[in-house]
Structure 1
Amino acid sequence: MSRTIAIGDIHGGLKALIQLLQRIDITPEDRLIFLGDYVDGWSDSANVVSYLIQLAKQNTCIFIRGNHDDLVHSWLKTGEMNEKWLQHGGQSSIDAYRNFSAEEIQLHIGFFQQMLNYYIDNENRLFVHAGFSNQHGPESEYHDTGYYWDRTLWETVLALDPKMKKTNKFYPKRLQLFEEIFIGHTPVTRIDESRPFHKAGVWNVDTGAAFKGHLSAIEVNSKEIWQSDPVHLLYEKEKGRN
Structure 2
Amino acid sequence: MAIWAIGDVHGCRDRLEDLWRRLGPGRDDTVIFLGDLIDRGPDPAGVIRFVRERSAEARVVALRGNHEDLCLTWHRTRDPADRDLWMGNKGYTTLESYGFAPGDPDAAVPAGDLRFLEAMPLWHREGEVVFVHAGLRPGVPLERQDPHDLLWIRDEFYGAPEAFSHPVVFGHTPFRGVFRRGPLVGIDTGAVYGGKLTAYEPFEDRVVQV
TM-score range normalised by the length of the shorter chain: 0.7 to 0.9
When the two structures are superposed, what TM-score results if normalisation uses the length of structure 2? 0.87
2:150 to 147, 166, 177: 147
Q: Which residue of 2 aligns with 1:201?
A: 183
- Give the SS at the match of 1:28: coil
Query: Is 1:111 the counterpart of 2:116 in the alignment?
Result: yes
The letter of the residue matching 1:186 is T
When the two structures are superposed, what TM-score results if normalisation uses the length of structure 1? 0.77
For structure 1, the residue ranges without an aligned partner over 5 or more in a row are: 158-170, 229-242
* In 2: Cα distance, 1:186 partner to 1:63 partner: 18
- Give the SS at the match of 1:56: helix
The letter of the residue matching 2:71 is V
- Give the SS at the match of 2:180: strand
> Does the 8 A contact of 1:35 with 1:66 survive in 2?
yes
Write out aligned runs for 1:50-89 (5 A). 50-80=49-79, 81-89=82-90
* In 2: Cα distance, 1:78 partner to 1:58 partner: 35
> Does the 8 A contact of 2:7 with 2:198 survive in 1?
yes
| Per-residue deviation, 1:131 | 1.3
> Does the 8 A contact of 1:76 with 1:105 survive in 2?
no
| Per-residue deviation, 1:41 | 1.3
Q: Which residue of 2 aligns with 1:4?
A: 3
> Does the 8 A contact of 1:13 with 1:48 survive in 2?
yes
For structure 2, the residue ranges without an aligned partner over 5 or more in a row are: 101-106
Q: Which residue of 1 aligns with 2:104?
A: none
1:130 to 117, 130, 134: 134
* In 1: Cα distance, 2:96 partner to 2:15 partner: 19
- Give the SS at the match of 1:40: coil
The letter of the residue matching 2:3 is T
The letter of the residue matching 2:94 is S
| Per-residue deviation, 1:134 | 5.2
* In 1: Cα distance, 2:85 partner to 2:191 partner: 20
| Per-residue deviation, 1:9 | 0.4
Q: Which residue of 1 aligns with 2:99?
A: 98
> Does the 8 A contact of 2:7 with 2:35 survive in 1?
yes
Structure 1 runs, 4 residues or longer, greater than 6 Å off = none
Q: Classify 1:50/1:137 alpha carbon distance in 2 versus 1 (closer, same or farther; 3 Å).
A: same
| Per-residue deviation, 1:35 | 0.6
Query: Is 1:38 the counterpart of 2:42 in the alignment?
Result: no
| Per-residue deviation, 1:84 | 4.3
CA-based RMSD? 2.2
- Give the SS at the match of 1:133: coil
Which deviations, in whole Å up to 9, do the C-alpha atoms of 1:142-168 show, x marking residues without a partner? x312111111212334xxxxxxxxxxx
